[in-house]
Amino acid sequence: MKNSELLETISRVLYPFILLFGLYIILNGDLSPGGGFQGGTILATAFLTIYLVKSKNTISVKSLLKLEKVLFLMLLFVAVISVFTRGVPFTNFLPLNTQPDIKRVFLIILNILFGLKVATGLIAVFTAFISENEDFDDTY
């Protein structure tokens, strides 16, 4: 892909702001609109602007998929913690009569894990799409 200087500069400027916005939406997902999925997709788009700057990819799809699996297992683990603390699976691991400000922690942890999982999944899809012809170039 041919890159123009304008596009490169603008995406360099926008990159940290998009990352910040994605993190903001993930962290405030329990109080305001948004959440894990929306923030994760915004994080992924922030990452994809890197490809506009330099079209060569440096990450391998396999490590991304491994990270995604680890995040999925962690999600399951966080959901099952409540069996040990309250005796019921798939609910908040804090007792019912705690302050709402502290009970929020459970939702924030779930949102962060889910957002990272969505982001890695989308980046893996996009990286696989980009590296379609990369191995072809090496043989020539």
Partner 1 sequence: MNINILLQLLLILIAVFIISSKDNLKIVISYSVFSLIAACLYFLYKAPDVALAEIAVGSAIVPLILILSISKQREFIVLNRLEDSFLEASDERSGIGYEILSEFCKYYGLKLKIYKKLPGKANGIFSHRNIDLIVEKHHLSRRYLFKGKESSILMYKLEKLAAPYEDIKVIKLEEGETDEQ
- Catalog residues that contact partner 1 under the rule CB under 8 A: 1, 25, 33-35, 37-38, 41-42, 44-45, 48, 61, 122, 126, 128-133, 135-136, 138-140
Cβ proximity to partner 1, 62 vs 99, nearer residue: 62
Cβ proximity to partner 1, 113 vs 118, nearer residue: 118
Q: How far is the CB of 110 from partner 1 (least distance, A)?
A: 16
Cβ proximity to partner 1, 7 vs 70, nearer residue: 7
Token pair of 43, please? Answer: 């994080």
Q: How far is the CB of 87 from partner 1 (least distance, A)?
A: 32
Cβ proximity to partner 1, 62 vs 90, nearer residue: 62
Q: How far is the CB of 62 from partner 1 (least distance, A)?
A: 9
